[in-house]
Structure 1
């Protein structure tokens, strides 16, 4: 995983204590992909105590619904969920710093609960906030990022926007890993970035934004740091026929279109809704 910067369970911190956050800036085309990265800003992203995230909405979400924050399962304050474990509707008072387009913190949002969290099949967490989308927009003039309902495609120009570091990474979808295995965890149909997206510790949970639409297509979560095979912080790709491939220095994200069917009326997570394939407790 792109490890949380505080309380990492599996290993020492990836970043040295003396590294300062990068200045807020718009992304540039680092990978040769045809991108319009200047259209992607930090508006709607958040900084957690140890990770990144974003305020998100489903297409069916209403202004009066309690807002949701998207991050990684391995960023939960309760620790890394075990393989097969699902956290559902667990009380939380976690706080998030909301960023504006320039990357400045404009306010603090607070969770009422962990609506959903897991590291099985995917690496995702959804927090329900104490404030609605309408209240957030009224207070800060910031709208939530919309979750795309479509699976991203190879070659799609994307931007990873880290609220923790106030830094963006611009590249493209290089392809997909049938299975991505890291230590005890296995994730399905993971997004593989082109090499330009050199995400670092603290970028965990960042939204992966389609440059053309501005919608969230994935959530940033890991990368192979040392070239090891299938170990912690060194995920490997496993094909349908079992072939294992290691790509040192390449980073990955988990798709989010498959979460949309699980978000029901009032933004409540309903794992029994038609089309919802997220793991159940």
Structure 2
């Protein structure tokens, strides 16, 4: 799982005393470069992927998200991982709904600068069963955030992502953008006592580290969120914490050391009703229920 780990923090310290977390620069894979003519037009959507709308948690990354049907007057939602909850990791089989929370989030602008502190009113939904997701409902509406800070929520794509899609993993915690492609999907991804279904597997360029948990995975072409970053196999272990393994339909186990994963988010869309209410009885909602 991609919470801050001692090794990741030590790596930053080794850059030098007082060094800041890695930022995307013109030399980073996550930073677009200017091109001329039609190439510039083709890259317009890619260049639009930045930090605006992402948030930094105390231990993870996240983003302010909306569904295609969300209204400006709805309370805003923050997306992160279930394992990033301030109350600790949910047990396998546990689903949390409408639990009071006053957690705060640092809202970032396009350059990665914190411009506001947002506050939750509750954990609207969280689980580590079948997926690894948390949704916090904020005390602010989408319209209030837009009006005060000029920042729009990221939209959740309502359809399943596709193999080969060019993506960016945008970490508000580290203020770093990773660029790669969707390499494929894991039928089941097992880590410790948890099992996730139909997980996104990245190509190796997205070498995410501790603190990137909860980062939105953004489709370069549409600019929409297609998944939420959550884990990777660090040392080649088999199905242990921080060393997830893939299990196919026949039960065959595959370990991919150094490869990282995310959980699809399209299934969230059908579960969000009027006023950002998480309604697990809505038609098409397949998120695990309590």
Q: Counterparts in 2 of 1:102-251, with a 5 A limit?
A: 102-251=111-260
- The answer to whether the Cα contact below 8 Å between 1:24 and 1:102 also exists between their aligned partners in 2 is no
Q: Does the 8 A contact of 1:155 with 1:173 survive in 2?
A: yes
CA deviation profile, 1:148-186 (whole Å, cap 9, x unmatched): 001000000000000000000000000000000000000
Runs (5+) with no aligned partner, structure 1: 6-11
Counterpart secondary structure, 2:267: helix
Mapped contact 1:72–1:123 kept (Cα < 8 A) = yes
> Residue 53 of structure 1 corresponds to which residue in structure 2?
62
Residue pair 1:96, 1:110 contacting (<8 A) in 2 also: yes
**Partner residue in 2 for 1:8:** none
Q: 4+ residue stretches of structure 1 with deviation over 3 A? A: 24-27, 34-37
In structure 2, what is the equivalent of residue 15 of structure 1? 8
* Cα distance between partner residues in 2 of 1:238 and 1:162: 28
> 1:269 maps to what in 2?
278
Instruction: Kindly indicate whether the alpha-carbon contact (under 8 Å) linking 1:154 and 1:175 is maintained by their aligned counterparts in 2.
Output: yes
Query: Which has more helix, going by share of residues?
Result: 2
Kindly tell me the number of residue pairs found equivalent between the two proteins.
271
TM-score by length of 1: 0.93
CA distance in 1, matches of 2:238, 2:7: 18
Provide TM-score, normalisation by structure 2.
Answer: 0.90
Residue aligning to 1:28: 29
Q: Distance in 2 between matches of 1:255 and 1:57?
A: 15
- Mark the runs of 5 or more structure 2 residues left unpaired by the alignment: 15-19, 32-41
Displacement after TM superposition at 1:25 (Å): 4.0
Asked whether the equivalents of residues 37 and 170 of structure 1 are also in contact (C-alpha less than 8 Å), the reply is: no
**RMSD after superposition:** 1.6
SS in 1 for 2:6: coil
Structure with max Cα Rg: 2
Match of 2:109 among 100, 105, 109: 100
1:65 aligns with 2:58: no
